[in-house]
Structure 1
Amino acid sequence: MLYGSIEAGGTKFVCAVGNEKLEILERVSFPTTTPEETMPQVIAFFNQYKDDLVAIGVGSFGPIDIRKTSDTYGYITSTPKLAWQNYNFLGAMKAAFDIPMAWTTDVNAAAYGEYAFGNGQGKSSVVYYTIGTGVGAGALQDGKFIEGFSHPEMGHMLVVPHKDDHFEGACPFHGNCLEGMAAGPAVEKRNGRKGQDIPQDDPFWEIEAEYIAQCAYNTTLMFSPEVIIFGGGVMKQRHMVEKVHAAFTRIMQGYVATPAIEEYIVTPALEDNAGTIGCLALAEKALKEA
């Protein structure tokens, strides 16, 4: 009995199969080009396991339609990736495999992975952010995603510009939102080089930490989660988490008594496996609920 995982990212698709213990048995990736090019590769990968495949979990770039009562449930909707606009992703998968499927955002999948097996394990309320090419977030309460008419877009919360930062923001919609000020493209546009090429002692990292700490502050006041997990390429800078801790403590000013800061604001225990394991766990859940 095998579970399938699809992390449909903006630059690549990562497909995997896992066993009943949700251990990854095989994983491959394909460039995200067009549905006509990418989806046949996805389907061909899972066709190898068709006899044993019992459910698939999909975490997709968005925006996507997550409302099960909607006529366009399972679609990628108003994405800037023109070839994927209004694409019936789940319908294409269902046409190839008549098995239960879970459908959510890519960052929700990573959040679920950390909730089930990572730094959110054993906690009832978990918020997960990925800070990379963009900023996305997923929130869980008692194992269920917090969402309404659509999935949250917490990566576009507005942040207050740092006093030493004169960058206007890279987001074409909001300028000084979290994504516009702190995502990878904003880091590169502001500094003329990628984050991994900026020394740890560069003053810029204090500015970056300030924006991530503002995010943690807003999240704390909105959700009071038991843990906030920051993943993504920017947070692979290992010195960042301590800087965020210091900035968060300064901004919060003791107003809310959170759990111990070292256990409250953390990076993913599963690292780059969070999304894949989350999709496998969501596939298992979909099978149980079918």
Structure 2
Amino acid sequence: MYFNQPELNQFIILYPPALVNILRSFITDEMFWPEDEIRRNILRRMTDTGKIYKKDLLTLWQQEKFRNHLPVMNNKEFVIQVFVHLDVLVLPKRYSDKSDSHVDYYLVPCTVKNKVPMSFLDEQSFASRTLSLVYRLQKSSIPSALSFKLIGAVSSIWPIMELNSRPLLYHSSAVLCVDGNTEFRIIVEDTKVIVYLTHKTSKAAISPDIAASIQECLTSTLEAVLKFYLSSIGKNHRKANVSNLLQIEVGEVCGRSPCVVPIAKAKLHSEWVCDSGTTHSSRYRLLWLFNKVRNIN
């Protein structure tokens, strides 16, 4: 196995199954955790918070059954970079604005078990402060490996918000910070990727450039993840038009769910009436699109 990437192209992996064995050091069921309490606490904190410190990762690799795979420090650094490349480990963007803040841990999206609390949908002003974006995949369901990679990729672009020093990273979902006034939630469920973009005061205060930039960045990221997934199952992703595998819908929040329409419909109609009988204006849903924001006053 060879990765023709910077920081990875100095090594050739002669025995790829070794990577699987190394993954078992921190991505494993609780019944396979080591017996000593120090390492069990490391794994317990990781599954609870979704993050692992580099020093703790190296502590796990000191176990006898992993030493043979990682005999020297150069090997350890290379394996860490491989896992970062594969979005198994994510080097997060700094959430703090302090220049002296230093991230010395990695996010591990695939190990988080807690579900995202949906109580934010019940907040009285949430709908009036939020735009919604939905990607519908033309498949029966989204493979869990794809959702973990998507959350990992997104987490490396925008900083994950923190509450009491705990990253708001959940199973197949996360809360991310755009700026001091804007945040967005990404939730992967069944055949959908749901995005809620929220401003502190009102959705009218959401910057059109920010909304459109997030949409384009998420779209390209999701397409890249789909290409990676297709190549991993033996499909020729170079010939595949992955944009045909998903439909993008834009809109707002109505009740406790996103109220969205396909982009094509959003461009054609100035308003629409949803299933609950509410009339929605295209003014806000078109904030997601660069080619329309200039016409919005």
Pick the structure with greater CA Rg. 2
What TM-score results when the alignment is normalised by the length of structure 2?
A: 0.30
What TM-score results when the alignment is normalised by the length of structure 1?
A: 0.31
